[in-house]
Amino acid sequence: MPIRAVLFDFDGLVLDTESTDFQSWQEVFAAHGCELRMDAWADSIGRPHGYFDPCDYLEQLSGSRIDREPLRIRRHARLMELNLRQPLQPGVLAYLMDAQRAGLKIGLASSSDRAWVHGHLERLGVLEYFATTKCFEDTGTHKPDPGPYLAVLEALEIYPGEAVAFEDSPNGITAAKAAGIFCVAVPNPITRQLRLEHADYRLESFATLPLPLLISQLNRTVM
């Protein structure tokens, strides 16, 4: 079945908000004389906010109560500062432009809220490339549940076998695969350290292989 659509995750894939999120919390932990290790953080990647509470974990490590609200406000301000410095991930714009030129449908499936996703897409000047974006408000589900991807497939009026999904995290890959979609892992500096073997294909970066060559290769060999 030929590929008719390309589907993107957002956090960590289009924009590397995962490295900045981890960095901002690492700075908080360091200020309290503690270390936030990757093995404690990893399972929260690609999951909804609140799945892992860094404040609870910080209190466990430090053995003392912390004043949470001021800490969260400062941490959030630091995160926004870091995110506003972030450009699109390498090769993302070229993939969007090539997909548009090829007449492929372009969708986005995210567990994050719409204001977050659309705000960054507008800031980066790429929102118009997406025929549909499905965020938490649209499905009420989070990855690894396939709900966000199933909603995108329905909106684009395509079958799972006609799409390729690009994901950076284990939970995102699980969601795409559960929806029946061929999944290409494109990790960021954080998720590169995680287990992504259940993806169907892997690129170290969008910049390593142009979209037309990838689509041609997948159509010829595995799709």
Bridge partners (DSSP) of residue 166 are 8, 184
Bridge partners (DSSP) of residue 202 are 185
Are 155 and 107 contacting, i.e. CB atoms less than 8 angstroms apart?
A: yes
| Closest C-alpha among 13, 38, 4 to residue 172 | 13
End-to-end CA distance of the chain: 6
Are 118 and 93 contacting, i.e. CB atoms less than 8 angstroms apart?
A: no
Bridge partners (DSSP) of residue 109 are 134
Alpha helices in the chain (DSSP H): 17-31, 38-41, 54-62, 68-84, 92-101, 114-123, 136-139, 147-156, 170-178, 211-221
Catalytic (active-site) positions: 9, 11
